[in-house]
Amino acid sequence: MPYLYYYNIFLKKRENKMKKIKIFPLLLLMCLMMTAFAPSAWAMEAPQLNGKAAVVIDLDSGKMLYGYNENEQRAPASLTKVMTALLALEALDSGRCELTTMVTAQNDCRDGMSDDSSTSGLLISDIVAEALHPERCIGAHPYNPPHLIPLVELTRCDKTDDDCVQLAYDFYQSIGKEAVLLRKECPGFIANRLQLALYREVQDLVMRGVCSVEDVDKALVYGPGIRWAIFGHNMIMQMGNPGGLTGMVEMLGNSGDRWLEDMASWTHQPDNWAQVAQPGVDQEMANFPDYIGHTNAECIAYRDQMLIDILKLHKKL
């Protein structure tokens, strides 16, 4: 099934330049899927690759299913098959699917090309355990919604070639993404681990009756969330004291130890969390002002527009 390959990204470097790149991008396909299935949530034009050419190719037949360059854009009818295959893959077990597609595609990967998996948490060393060319393989995890969020987490294993990593990094930076590199393998990577650590405390505060679902969201959105949309927490620490991060750490000392002792440390999420949280989320949505919306679709449209505005402030759009 050749369409399995489209969960991976293949990059080819020619004459040490990024002028001609063959890619199988999850990002590009997600953009098309958003356009096809949720036009109201798509507030940007078709993906611009800064003058680069992008193609989606069926490896078995060599037929181009989708092509784009700076002068024209076209999406043949057969692209529907790609979308259908992707939606079918979504329903499969993500671990088995990812391992199968990566190994199958990796063994067919042409010389001089790198194979980039979009896995959100699997280790590359596990994915390429049966691959013929593990040195060509890295992880390139986009963050949802991928057509707007710039982050791409690049992961590697001990067998990954340095040039392969550099090629992927240069590519993602060239199309306006922000690539971060994990120096060693780590389940869940960076962003999802940060997100899960925060969400554990969110769950714990609600489950202990400290605050409501709505108020814990408000505390995040209108407090640190706004700052985090501008700078990371290390930079926030840096700006919080005339002595920079060092001055802030020295000023705070061990004052947070008492908080840490009281914070969640469990390693199994509450089994009844959905039953506890869903009524709170429903009430939160009902309390939103009309300009935000009261349904999932309305809130998604509002979120995407806000993301676009933030990206413009970051000079990403």
Tell me which residues are annotated as active site.
153
Contact 178, 204 (CB under 8 A): no
Q: 3-state SS of the chain: helix, strand, coil percent to 5?
A: 50, 15, 40
H/E segment holding residue 65: strand 64-68
- Distance CA(203)–CA(209), nearest Å, equals 10
Q: State the number of CA atoms in the 13 A half-sphere of 252 facing the CB.
A: 15
Amino acid at 250: E
CB atoms within 10 A of CB 24: 25
Helix axes 273-287, 213-221, angle to 10 degrees: 60
Whether a cis peptide bond, with omega within 30° of 0, leads into 2 is no
Question: Taking the chain, what is the end-to-end CA distance rounded to the nearest angstrom?
Answer: 37
**How far is residue 41 from each of residues 75, 104, 179, measured CA to CA in Å?**
20, 34, 25
Q: How many CA atoms lie within 13 A of 291 on its CB side?
A: 2
CA–chain centroid gap for 60, Å, is 29
How far, in Å, CA of 175 to CA of 161, rounded? 22
User: Residue 9 to residues 6, 21, 105, 117, 139: CA-CA distances in angstroms?
Assistant: 7, 11, 10, 7, 9
Which amino acid appears at position 170 of this protein? Answer: D
